[in-house]
């Protein structure tokens, strides 16, 4: 589900869950578990990527609709736990965006310290409002942190996805690499960050993300309660069903 391969001091974690690595309970829990393993290991940095030609297509809406209220009650906390674990992870994390990174998949990439995206037809962006659901508090803070202020509101409100060159201009990714060199480049960046004194890097990263952490911790209970109500409501479920029919032909 999440494969691990160590390249020198870098732990490469590869999403391998279905065709598009859609986020469901199983994948979210596996990500949290893998990050825990890496944190306690000798690896000094992480590269997060996807298998095949997709990084992640975001939340598995089909599973969410089929699972109903009981599944949603478990899913949203697991989403928050795994994303916060990635965003505040004490070691360097580099995203090797090997293909489409949509909605929650884009948030996963943006939770990393550096994003390298493959050149080609892949797109990246946050489509949550088009699906009909609001962002959990941690996802919104990740995007606020990652995006330049002048592009933050547009990205969320429009739900647009962008190709690699436009994503680079808008700050969704930090650099572009040809597909054959993507993983090598991501590992090189991760290795360079991992070579920094660990305690110094850990404290610096914590300080950089501290304003986001404080906003998240002060508002998460209130916001996520409202998020849960909307996600569970009939209008959102109808909107999700319509989105699935449009995009997945189901």
Catalytic site residues? Answer: 128
What's the rounded Cα separation, in Å, for the pair 1 and 24?
Answer: 11
Q: Tell which residue, 128, 104, 130, has the closest CA to residue 20.
A: 104
* First-residue to last-residue Cα distance in the chain: 24
Helices (H), 56-197: 61-87, 104-110, 128-131, 137-146, 149-158, 164-170, 182-194
Residue 175 CA to residue 87 CA, distance in Å, equals 19
Tokens (6 digits) for 249: 């032909």
Distance CA 118, CA 98 (A): 5
Which tokens sit at 222? 């209130």
Buried b (16+ CB within 10 A) or exposed e, 187-212: bbbbbebbeeeeeebeeebeeebeeb
Q: Look-up: residue for tokens 């946050």?
A: 126
Element holding 38 (H helix, E strand): helix 25-39
C-beta neighbour count of 62 within 10 angstroms: 15
Which of 55, 59, 150, 142 has the alpha carbon at shortest distance from 103?
Answer: 59
């Amino acid at each position: 589900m999440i494969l691990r391969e160590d390249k020198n001091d870098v732990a490469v974690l590869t999403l391998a869950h279905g065709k598009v690595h859609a986020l469901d309970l199983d994948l979210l829990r596996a990500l949290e578990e893998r990050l825990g393993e890496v944190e306690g290991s000798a690896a000094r940095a992480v590269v997060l990527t996807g298998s095949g030609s997709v990084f992640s297509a975001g939340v598995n809406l089909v599973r969410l609709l089929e699972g109903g209220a009981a599944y949603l009650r478990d899913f949203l906390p697991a989403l928050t736990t795994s994303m916060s674990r990635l965003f505040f992870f004490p070691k360097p994390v580099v995203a090797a965006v090997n293909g489409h990174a949509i909605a929650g998949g884009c948030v996963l990439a943006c939770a990393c310290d550096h994003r390298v995206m493959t050149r080609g037809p892949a797109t990246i962006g946050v489509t949550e409002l088009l699906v009909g659901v609001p962002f959990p508090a941690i996802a919104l803070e990740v995007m606020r942190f990652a995006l330049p202020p002048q592009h933050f509101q547009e990205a969320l409100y429009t739900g647009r996805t962008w190709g690699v060159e436009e994503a680079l201009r808008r700050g969704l990714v930090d650099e572009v690499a040809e597909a054959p060199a993507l993983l090598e480049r991501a590992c090189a960046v991760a290795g360079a960050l991992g070579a920094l004194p660990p305690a110094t890097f850990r404290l610096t990263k914590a300080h950089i993300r501290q304003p986001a952490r404080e906003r998240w911790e002060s508002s998460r209970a209130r916001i996520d309660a409202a998020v849960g109500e909307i996600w569970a409501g009939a209008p959102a479920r109808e909107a999700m069903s319509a989105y699935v029919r449009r995009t997945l032909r189901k």
